[in-house]
Amino acid sequence: MAKFFVQKSAPLRGEVEISGSKNAVLPIMAAALLTEEKCEINGVPQLRDVDVMCKLLERLGAHVEKDPEGKTVDITAGSDLSCEAPYDLVKMMRASILVLGALLIRTGRGVIPLPGGCAIGKRPVELHLKGLKALGAVVDENQLARGIVDARADKLKGNTIYLDFPSVGATEVIIMAASLAEGTTILENAAQEPEIVDLANFLNKMGAKIKGVGTDTIKIEGVEKLKGVNHNVIPDRIEAGTFMVGAVMTGGNVLVKNVVPDHLKAVIAKLRECGAVITPVDEGVLVQGDVNPLVSTDIKTLPYPGFPTDLQSPFMALLTVAKGPSVVIETVFENRFMHVGEFNRMGANIKIDGNCAIIPGGKNLQGAQVVATDLRAGAAVVLTGLIADGITEISQIYHVDRGYENFVNKLKKLGANIMRVED
């Protein structure tokens, strides 16, 4: 298995170009199943999860074509689609569930084994199914008990749906299904993430009638047919946030290009509290971690527009070396402190109390053998390795490949001492 070897590095300096959003492109690719016409998606990041989604769509019967650089993906989901997603692909990626609504619309049935991905919490599909049932789908409970979602619907009809939690995945699946349902759907307590806005913009280009996205109440008027379109994916705010944190914790100076500052308001606010100088410029965001001393702050993860759970572990890496103690409260995923054990191997001395992590801060970290316990934790231990004495050896880096395009080369261009070794 491949590994990263990271050595203490000089402060990160230079500029970095942020790729298209992983969390935006996957639902958009799934939504391309809603039409028989070709959809051209641009700004696609070259990631393991994107490759898996391409293979999944092909196995379902869609024609998928990439340009030589992999930045553009053409998807044509003709008339002959399978209703069943293969387990060998689904187990590799939780986002596989995103095709469920489209399969119901196109084939009258969706069969999906409960998906895999990062083991950061339950991430149940109950809300997805609650929404689809409200639209008229029937779910086989016996199959569900065996870990297989088997939903059927001759016709979906609009309804008012309230989500008990603003689930991103459930919001996306319901929006897709409701776009071609009969009548009007009102989705309350919807997730508000920028990636959902991007999905809705894609669907509206296709001919859908979706209003209110980016707020907690979304109105979808069903239409009879959707058409093929061209679409540019938004930049990846989590990748951008990761590099911004890296710049600050190393005392660096980095121009982060291709970023939407509005998507990162909570992160920017917290980095400023830690002493960073962050300036929006025409090309993106200039991040200066070399102006003021690095001081601690507290964070609490929340659904958007709150502090993103996907940046909790990278930010905790920063807090291990900031001056003064801090508290991190995780409210979104119950298992998202698995990286704490890896940080502690390096000398962070973090204590866990329920959903709170208490970080003493100001530690001189030492390189160690650590594991990328999930996608974002993998990026976090890389950042920690940049400021730790000695060598940090990171295994299970396939997690990182799922969500960061060209991660090693981007860091190297900023001066990071990092190497990838294939076993």
User: Is 126 among the annotated ligand-binding positions?
Assistant: yes
Query: CA 286, CA 141: separation in Å to the nearest integer?
Result: 52
Query: CA 276, CA 239: separation in Å to the nearest integer?
Result: 18
Sign of the alpha-carbon dihedral angle for 404, 410, 416, 417: positive
What phi, psi does 392 have (nearest 5°)? -110, 125
Query: CA 370, CA 5: separation in Å to the nearest integer?
Result: 10
Instruction: Considering only CA atoms, give the Rg of the chain.
Output: 21
User: Is 23 among the annotated ligand-binding positions?
Assistant: yes
Q: Quote the Cα angle for 348-331-234, to 5°.
A: 95
Q: Which residues of 247-286 are buried (b: 16+ CB within 10 A; e: fewer)?
A: bbbbbbbbbbbbbbbebbebbbebbeebbbebeeeeebbb
Q: Name the residue among 238, 196, 242, 239 with its Cα closest to residue 220.
A: 196
The amino acid at residue 334 is: E
- The one catalytic residue in 83, 118, 274, 356 is 118
In the chain, % helix, strand, coil (3-state, to 5) comes to 35, 25, 40
| Half-sphere CA count of 292, side-chain side, radius 13 A | 14
User: Is 272 among the annotated ligand-binding positions?
Assistant: no
User: Is 59 among the annotated ligand-binding positions?
Assistant: no
Query: CA 357, CA 396: separation in Å to the nearest integer?
Result: 24
User: Is 48 among the annotated ligand-binding positions?
Assistant: no
Query: CA 420, CA 344: separation in Å to the nearest integer?
Result: 23
User: Is 22 among the annotated ligand-binding positions?
Assistant: yes
The amino acid at residue 223 is: V
118 is catalytic: yes
Query: CA 387, CA 165: separation in Å to the nearest integer?
Result: 37
User: Is 332 among the annotated ligand-binding positions?
Assistant: yes
Q: Is beta strand 13-17 parallel, antiparallel or unpaired with respect to 253-257? A: parallel
User: Is 216 among the annotated ligand-binding positions?
Assistant: no
Q: Is beta strand 138-139 parallel, antiparallel or unpaired with respect to 356-359? A: unpaired
Extract the annotated binding site for UDP-N-acetyl-alpha-D-glucosamine: 94, 123-127, 310, 332
Residues tagged in the binding site annotation for phosphoenolpyruvate: 22-23
Catalytic residue numbers, as ranges:
118
Binding residue numbers: 22-23, 94, 123-127, 310, 332
